[in-house]
Homo-oligomer: A and B are copies of this chain.
Amino acid sequence: MAVYTDVASEDLERFLAAYDVGDLLSYKGIAEGVENSNFLVNTRRGHFILTLYEKRVAAEDLPFFLALMEHLARRGITCPQPVRSRLGETLGTLAGRPAAMVTFLDGMWIRRPSVVHCTALGAALAKLHLAGADFAFTRRNALALDGWRALHATIGARADEVHPGLGDDIARELDHLKRHWPRDLPQGVIHADLFPDNVFFLADRLSGLIDFYFACIDTLAYDVMICLNAWCFEQDHAYNVTKGRGLLQAYMQVRKLTPAEHDALPLLARGAALRFLLTRLVDWLNVPPGALVKPKDPQEYRRKLRFHQTIASARDYGIA
């Protein structure tokens, strides 16, 4: 929930004058996204989401994200589309920040996903991976193995404030992943953050994907296991094998996994769990005492990591 930067209507009207969207009718800061300031903007021509990119997003990455949304839409993926100014630009400046307007997508995100939703997500993720195959831009994943080590270094022994022994557990896991991480699996565009709040549904039909601001080029099957972690565990952190099977089978019906990808799933799942454990730990340990915005609980991902550490083979996730 975040609106870090307020925008005056005079300034917004000046910004919009460069676009062919008609007069401004209303705009409201919306409580979505944790990295940027987002506004729902209504003009005579329709509804748009206006994003002001705050410090945590690197300005040089913005062309990658905006071009990716255009590329995916041309390949049939429903996602927000950057609105171009009369000069053809997708990126402008507002309130001293890089800013872009994208089309508004109907749909709601599902707070309690069912097997139906997990299955729809699996198919959509595979289509996203196929649609990204011929995307020309590149962006490395800043939150891959090297990034995890850097995050761990910033936390140091403070991980134990969250759970006794957690710092050592993470160090051991990092060593294990460094020795075994698969380097030769199929790579491509991954979303890297396709949690339920970034997937819209209308009446159980998946209606669109949003928030591509972690997208990058990385191991496709790693993206699958980020989703498995985000969609297929229950409130009590227990793995739901029916949901997991639904997600994985639906994915594989659209894009087959190679034998090497299949075998690597447990390891990729551990990496995916560790990545969110680390970023949540950093957020958790750096929140001012008494802050009104509560960060997400790192314990959830500590437990998911421990679960995947017990997995002997991909069959344990419910697939053949």
**A residues whose Cβ falls under 8 Å from a Cβ of B:** 1, 3, 6, 8-10, 12, 23-32, 40, 42, 47, 104-112, 200-203, 288-293
Contacts and interface: CB of A to CB of B under 8 A. Distances in A.
Contact of A289 (B6, B28, B289, B293): B289
Contacts of A26: 104-108, 200
A38 to B, nearest CB: 9
How many of these chains are in the complex? 2
Contacts of A29: 1, 30-32
A222 to B, nearest CB: 29
B9 A108 contact: yes
A8 B108 CA distance: 9
A305 to B, nearest CB: 26
Contact of A106 (B25, B104, B110, B112): B25
Nearest to A3: B31
Lowest 3 A-B CB distances belong to which pairs? Answer: A288-B290, A29-B31, A9-B108
Contacts of A32: 28-29
A23 B111 contact: no
Nearest to A37: B31
Taking each of A1, A12, A104, A107, which has the highest tally of chain B beta carbons within 10 Å of its own beta carbon? A1
A6 B40 CA distance: 18
Contacts of A6: 111
A289 B180 CA distance: 45
Contacts of A106: 25-26, 42
A42 B202 CA distance: 12
Contacts of A112: 8, 10
Contact of A9 (B8, B42, B111, B290): B111
Contacts of A105: 26
A32 B30 CA distance: 9
Contacts of A104: 26
A265 to B, nearest CB: 30
21 contacts: A1-B29, A3-B31, A8-B110, A8-B112, A9-B109, A9-B201, A10-B112, A12-B108, A23-B203, A26-B200, A28-B30, A28-B31, A29-B31, A30-B30, A30-B31, A42-B106, A288-B289, A288-B290, A288-B292, A289-B289, A292-B292
